[in-house]
Amino acid sequence: MSLVRMIARPMLASVFVVQGWKNFRDPEQQMPAAKSFTDKVGPALEKNAPNLPTDPKQLVRINAATQLGAGLALATGRFPRLAAAVLAVSLVPTTVAGHPFWESDDPEERSHHRAQALKNAGLAGGLLLASVDTEGKPGLAWRAKHAAGRARKSSKTAGRKAKKAAKSAKPS
């Protein structure tokens, strides 16, 4: 692992670890935003995914635990691509519920929420980059494509060898 990755991953993950732990321990501060969010999307969730929880406190804790776990995984380099992708996805409800600047009439509040939403968009961009970082190694798609090519080449070679062996085995 390069020095940049060794430093950057924990730096990127730190906000998720700290906030995840804080929100998991004390979800009450996030409850008004979560309640507002579940009031809007709750009926659609209940209709399309009836097994998903809709209790705001439970959703805050689930999101917090997700961010804490994925943040720790990213910080320690355990499944960093998956962890970064999970964190990027977890930012969507966090941003929509917590920073709905489009709903605010107060210019100061609107500006604050817009800045926080843009900060989250920047974090999401960094997380998306981290989610595709293969550390200089070929990605899974490349490896699969080349493995298929090698298998095709091996089967052609084996076929030619079998034909040659069959011809030489025939009595003249």
The domain locations on the chain are 3-137, 139-172
Confidence of residue 124 (pLDDT cuts 50, 70, 90): very high
Which segment, 31-35, 52-56, 121-125, 155-159, is predicted with the most confidence on average?
A: 121-125
Confidence of residue 63 (pLDDT cuts 50, 70, 90): very high
pLDDT given for residue 172 in this prediction: 58
Q: Quick check: 1 pLDDT over 70?
A: no
d(Cα 112, Cα 107) in Å, to the nearest integer?
Answer: 9
Q: Which residues contact 43 (CB under 8 A, 6 or more apart)?
A: none
Q: Which residues contact 93 (CB under 8 A, 6 or more apart)?
A: 37, 59, 63
Percent of the chain past pLDDT 70, that is, above it, reads 97
Decide if 71 contacts 80 (C-beta within 8 A).
no
Greater confidence (63 vs 137) lies with 63
Greater confidence (15 vs 134) lies with 15
Confidence of residue 114 (pLDDT cuts 50, 70, 90): very high
pLDDT given for residue 90 in this prediction: 94
Decide if 12 contacts 126 (C-beta within 8 A).
yes
Mean pLDDT over 89-101 rounds to 89
Q: Which residues contact 127 (CB under 8 A, 6 or more apart)?
A: 12, 84, 85, 87, 88, 91
Q: Quick check: 165 pLDDT over 90?
A: no
pLDDT given for residue 50 in this prediction: 79
